[in-house]
Amino acid sequence: MVELVGRRAECEALDRLVADVLAGASRVLVLRGDAGVGKSVLLGYLSDRVAGWRVVPAVGVESEMELAYSGLHQLCAPLLDHLDELPVPQRDALATVFGLSPGSAPDRFLVGLAALTLVAQAAEQHPLACIVDDAQWLDQASAQIVAFVSRRLLAERVALVCAARTQIEDGALGGLPALPVGRLSDSDARLLLGSVHIPLDAAVADQIIAESHGNPLALLELPRTWGAAGLAAGFGLPGSRPVAGKIESSYVQRLLRLPADTQLLVLTAAAEPLGDLALLRRAAGALDIEMAAAAPALDAGLLQLRKRVEFAHPLVRSAAYRAAAAADRHRVHRVLADATDAQRDPDRRAWHRARATSGPDEQVAAELERSADRAQARGGLAAAAAFLTRATDLTSLPAARTRRALAAAAASVQAGAFDNARTLLTVARDGEADELQRAQIDLISAQMAFASKRGNEATLLLLAAAQRLLPLNLQFARQTYLDAFSAAQFAARLSGDVGIAEVARAVRSAPSSSARRSADATANTSTNVRVRWPIRRVAVAGKSGHSSAARSIRA
């Protein structure tokens, strides 16, 4: 085991964590630090310390953040040999979200219990280490489940250790025990820089130490990139950019030195974040590239091919993908789509097909819509929004483009992506929209105001949207009145002309129940909007007149 320069305190903390778990106590820890500061190296140190344990690794991938439970799948897939030991409701919930069996979207609390039980069962025979790198890129559903499990582990001989960047909001992992991973001191930085074995002028060494800001990866990568000649004369040093940018630029230059086939193979691995070695082999065959072409990347320390494909650092993956030409990215996504089993993983295949497409394609757009439906059934609103947004981009027919833009905007509001929702609403407004769709544009705008501002403006907008929907679709109108009632509850403490009483009067002036049922039967024959995404409601409390109004809405 190599001693890490300047990381004695962090290593001692990890040693204590290992000792505690061996003594019978569960431990949770989140390593927090900047990109390249050494979090992944510390996770490697921990992996060495838990040799002989059952180790389950996972890596958050930015391009998969919209795919619900994709991160949880990495953690739980190696443990599914214990799936039959779970209580039936938990087993069915986990099987549903992983696509192992059909069913409606399970309650996320039940999925959390299932993951907790699965981890506990797996740790009964041997201590278990769950190690998650780049946790800031976990999809929201997985991050919530990881946090749920972390807060309920007690004495299961489980170590759950994550690494996340400090610049990213804590989100679901906020409040968990954390270990800050800071910059190296100047003396430790100088010691680490000396390990590169490249002759440096003292002034240049000082400049590298200053510009790296004590970031270990920057200290190691910059000298290797620019070479002895350039560094000795002080040429070629990057300007004042963020350290992560410098590091990624360094990886780009190293990648560009590789043979063309190797670069294309590395790009293919970067475009498929699952690290599936068999899939990479199939894709390489389709590209007429031998797997032996990976050797230069392996020799350069950029890539490892074990049971799965592993990059030396997440920035290698992003560097390989961003530096590639658009035509090459389209090409590798095309072969990855063809190499992906359409029956086992239709959503990932659809996503690769969409990324391989540069112009309108109705077949791919329809496939993305079906993926959005499946994502919604699993509770993956961000995934549904991503699929529908890309489907909108690939749609040329005006009516279909408007319909998909509306569905994508509604999903984006639910996922909290308000900027994306505004852009999609603009697409819908500028397209061919009928009267019901125009009313839905108003409705989604009002929902966005309610979700983002919680002010009196939302009540007014929701009430107006409900009234516009009355002659078009009374079912939507009643739901929107409930939204307006909820918004009025939030805004009750604010001054304004529209409140609970005004909403109640509007409801009571609506058509009678018999008229509603007749109108709904007619309106529901029109399917201009594929899906209704209701906003979260609050319990109605207050005077009896207010409760009566709420009951009238639901009637």
Handedness of CA 135, 137, 139, 144 (dihedral sign): positive
Instruction: Looking at 236-325, list the stretches that DSSP marks H as alpha helix, in order from N- to C-terminal side.
Output: 243-256, 260-271, 277-286, 295-299, 314-323
Which parts of the chain sit beneath pLDDT 50?
1-2, 493-496, 513-555
Q: How far is CA 110 from the centre of its chain?
A: 21
**CB 163, CB 134: distance < 8 Å:** yes
Residue that is written with structure tokens 């604010």 in the block = 494
- Measured between alpha carbons, how far is 432 from 3 in angstroms, rounded to an integer? 65
Q: How far is CA 188 from the centre of its chain?
A: 35
Report in angstroms the alpha-carbon separations of 508 from 296, 465, 498, 539, 547: 74, 16, 16, 20, 13
CATH T-level topology, domain 8-180 = Rossmann fold (3.40.50)
Identity of residue 497: D
- Confidence at residue 516, expressed as pLDDT on a 0 to 100 scale: 47
Q: At what angle do helices 346-355 and 326-339 cross, to 10 degrees?
A: 160
Helix, strand, coil tally for the chain in percent (to 5): 65, 5, 30
Q: How far is CA 404 from the centre of its chain?
A: 22
- Confidence at residue 112, expressed as pLDDT on a 0 to 100 scale: 92
Q: Where are the extended beta strands (E) located within 251-393?
A: 303-305, 309-311
Q: In the structure encoding, which two tokens stand for residue 425, read together?
A: 């609403």
**DSSP code string of 362-388:** HHHHHHHHHHHHHHHHTT-HHHHHHHH
Instruction: Express each pLDDT in 68-107 by its tens digit.
Output: 888 999 999 999 999 999 999 999 999 988 888 887 878 8
Using CB atoms within 10 Å of the CB of residue 261, give its burial: 0 to 12 exposed, 13 to 18 middle, 19+ buried.
middle
Instruction: Looking at 416-472, list the stretches that DSSP marks H as alpha helix, in order from N- to C-terminal side.
Output: 418-430, 435-453, 456-469
> Of 148, 180, 186, nearest to 163 (Cα)?
180
- Measured between alpha carbons, how far is 442 from 548 in angstroms, rounded to an integer? 27
**CB 32, CB 179: distance < 8 Å:** yes
Report in angstroms the alpha-carbon separations of 255 from 84, 316, 321: 45, 9, 11
- Confidence at residue 334, expressed as pLDDT on a 0 to 100 scale: 95
- Measured between alpha carbons, how far is 421 from 199 in angstroms, rounded to an integer? 54
- Confidence at residue 489, expressed as pLDDT on a 0 to 100 scale: 60
- Measured between alpha carbons, how far is 50 from 290 in angstroms, rounded to an integer? 35
SS3 (DSSP) at 121? helix
Q: In the structure encoding, which two tokens stand for residue 286, read together?
A: 């389709």
Pairing mode of beta strands 54-59, 158-165: unpaired
- Confidence at residue 548, expressed as pLDDT on a 0 to 100 scale: 41
> Of 159, 167, 217, nearest to 192 (Cα)?
217
